[in-house]
Amino acid sequence: MDIPASIVAQVILMGHEIERAEGELRAFIEGMTEDARAELVAIYWIGRGSFEVEDWAEAVATARAEATTPTADYLLGSPHFADHLEAGAEAMGLDVAGAEDDLM
């Protein structure tokens, strides 16, 4: 996994404040590299239960192959996306709580 915990934490924080930060969040996600966006979606899917941690490579490959809409539209259109990202990051062993503290 190449996406830093701080990037995932930033998306989670803004996702929990979507009413105030939607524009900023959309710009932040779309400013990420294609690889980072695919990994973000894979983390979301793991948190949602669509993939297991051991299926990481498959989840990332699927995210790349199925990227037909902008990542921000996909994630923000998904119920509880920030909660699923948080669960996926935890399952993957990313210290997003520590990264969130650093961002605040």
The length of the chain, given as a count of residues: 104
How many CB atoms are located within 10 Å of the residue 78 CB?
Answer: 14
- Percentage of the chain modeled with pLDDT above 90: 76
Q: What angle do CA 85, 91, 92 make, to 5 degrees?
A: 90
| Per-residue pLDDT tens over the stretch 46-88 | 999 999 999 999 999 999 999 899 999 999 999 899 999 999 9
pLDDT of residue 75: 95
Three-state SS sequence of 10-23: HHHHHHHCHHHHHH
pLDDT of residue 103: 56
Question: How far apart (Å, rounded) are the C-alpha atoms in residues 29 and 8?
Answer: 10
Contacts of 22 (CB under 8 A, 6+ apart): 76
Short-list 28, 22, 35, CA closest to 10: 28
